[in-house]
Amino acid sequence: MAEAQSIGVEEFLELAETLPLFDVRTPSEFSNGHIPGARNLPLFSDDERVKVGTTYNRQGSQEAILTGLELVGPKMR
């Protein structure tokens, strides 16, 4: 498997002109601003994002990660 490599913003924007670009943020985050031409393919709904954030604030990062995995896991089938 190829190793991931870092690229600069300029190169990224050039690639984005010819390759599909998917933004996995929530619909409201996407509507607040995105790279032109990007498509929204959200991992979480807005309500699910609130649930993860609330879990993080109340129970910490480990519980928030588990909550996120519980929400996203069934969508990956």
Residues 6+ apart with CB under 8 A from 67: 51, 52, 55
Are residues 41 and 12 in contact, defined by beta-carbon separation less than 8 angstroms?
no
For each of the chain's 77 residues, which pLDDT tens digit applies? 789 999 999 998 898 889 999 999 999 999 999 998 999 999 999 999 999 999 999 999 999 999 999 999 998 87
Q: Report d(CA 76, CA 17) in Å as an integer.
A: 27
Residue spans per domain, the chain? 8-42, 45-77
Q: Report d(CA 34, CA 68) in Å as an integer.
A: 22
Sign for the pseudo-dihedral over CA of 17, 22, 27, 28: negative
